[in-house]
């Protein structure tokens, strides 16, 4: 018998509370600025002690996912929190361009889509479907749809079951939807462009749902290249992302 095997230990209750709330944030079910239910309600909803809830919330605070405001409650951190984002510091200190950002995003998200095709649960697939549906609704109502776009990509990251993938994607998307939000609005400004993005999202989802890692990778690559091509042709791709 392998002498390096260790005893299996049950997962701590506080860790389970933390993971459930963290996953709601990463999937976009809890949105930036949204208030998390009070401790007493969390205790009742999850059937756990106050100490477990408080420990989980403290861990979420330490990770920069939520803020606790005296007398108001606990809130999911909003876009202002990206000032603590290491990607923002790197982009600024190295005068990096939007193209630089998208080239790194290509590797991260293509591999993420392939992993999601292998590991996604039925709930993950439903979350991706919901993200596409809400993006369609946002565009139909005349809204930009960038938040819904981010939720779709974060749902894929969550489906990889890789905590590093999820955290890196969160840093990327916090920066993308804060640092270059005006550029993104111009990208989403044309109806034919937004329809193409939706079509690409559907292709990615279809490949993931079929457990087809190769086509999931290829569909995501097509998607990122489409965005990269827009920025390069408008000459924004070679401009510093931090400006």
> Could you report the per-residue pLDDT of 39-72, keeping only the tens digit for each?
999 999 999 999 999 999 988 886 667 888 888 9
Q: What is the per-residue pLDDT across 71-111, written as a single tens digit (0 to 9) for each?
A: 899 998 764 454 566 776 676 677 778 788 889 889 999 99
Note the pLDDT tens digit of each residue in 139-164: 888 776 777 888 899 899 989 999 88
- As a three-state string, the secondary structure of 10-64 is CCCHHHHHHHHHHHHHHHCCCCCCCEECCHHHHHHHHCCCHHHHHHHHHHHHHCC
pLDDT at 1 over 60: no
87-to-163, 173, 176, 222 alpha-carbon distances in Å: 17, 10, 10, 24
Is domain 82-233 given the CATH code 1.20.120.530 in the classification? Answer: yes
Beta-bridged to residue 97, according to DSSP, are 240
CA distance 186 to 231: 10
- Give the residue extent of every domain in the chain: 13-77, 82-233
Q: Domain 13-77: which CATH class?
A: mainly alpha
pLDDT at 133: 92
Q: What is the pLDDT of residues 173-201, one digit of tens each?
A: 776 665 555 666 676 677 778 889 999 99
Chain mean pLDDT for the chain = 82
What number of CA atoms fall less than 13 Å from residue 22's CA on the CB side?
A: 22
66-69 vs 35-36, strand pairing mode: unpaired
- Of 56-60, 86-90, 166-170, 224-228, which has the strongest mean pLDDT? 224-228
Q: Do domains 13-77 and 82-233 have the same CATH topology?
A: no
């Amino acid at each position: 018998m392998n002498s390096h095997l260790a005893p299996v230990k049950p997962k701590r209750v506080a860790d389970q509370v933390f993971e459930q709330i963290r996953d709601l944030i990463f999937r976009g079910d809890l949105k930036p600025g949204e208030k998390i239910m009070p401790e007493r309600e969390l205790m009742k909803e999850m059937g756990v002690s106050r100490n477990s809830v408080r420990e989980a919330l403290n861990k979420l605070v330490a990770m920069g996912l939520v803020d606790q405001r005296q007398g108001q409650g606990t809130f999911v951190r909003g876009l202002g929190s990206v000032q603590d984002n290491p990607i923002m510091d790197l982009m600024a200190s190295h005068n990096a361009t939007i193209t630089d950002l998208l080239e790194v995003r290509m590797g991260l998200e293509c591999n993420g889509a392939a992993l999601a095709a292998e590991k996604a649960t039925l709930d993950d697939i439903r979350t991706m479907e919901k993200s596409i549906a809400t993006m369609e609704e946002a565009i139909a109502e005349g809204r930009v749809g960038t938040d819904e776009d981010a939720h779709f990509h974060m749902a894929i990251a969550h489906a990889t079951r890789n905590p590093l993938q999820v955290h890196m994607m969160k840093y990327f998307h916090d920066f993308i939807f804060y640092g270059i939000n005006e550029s993104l609005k111009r990208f989403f400004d044309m109806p034919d462009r937004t329809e193409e993005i939706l079509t690409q999202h559907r292709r990615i989802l279809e490949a993931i749902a079929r457990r087809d890692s190769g086509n999931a990778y290829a569909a995501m690559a097509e998607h990122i290249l489409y965005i990269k091509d827009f920025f390069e042709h408008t000459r924004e791709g070679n401009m510093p992302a931090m400006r």
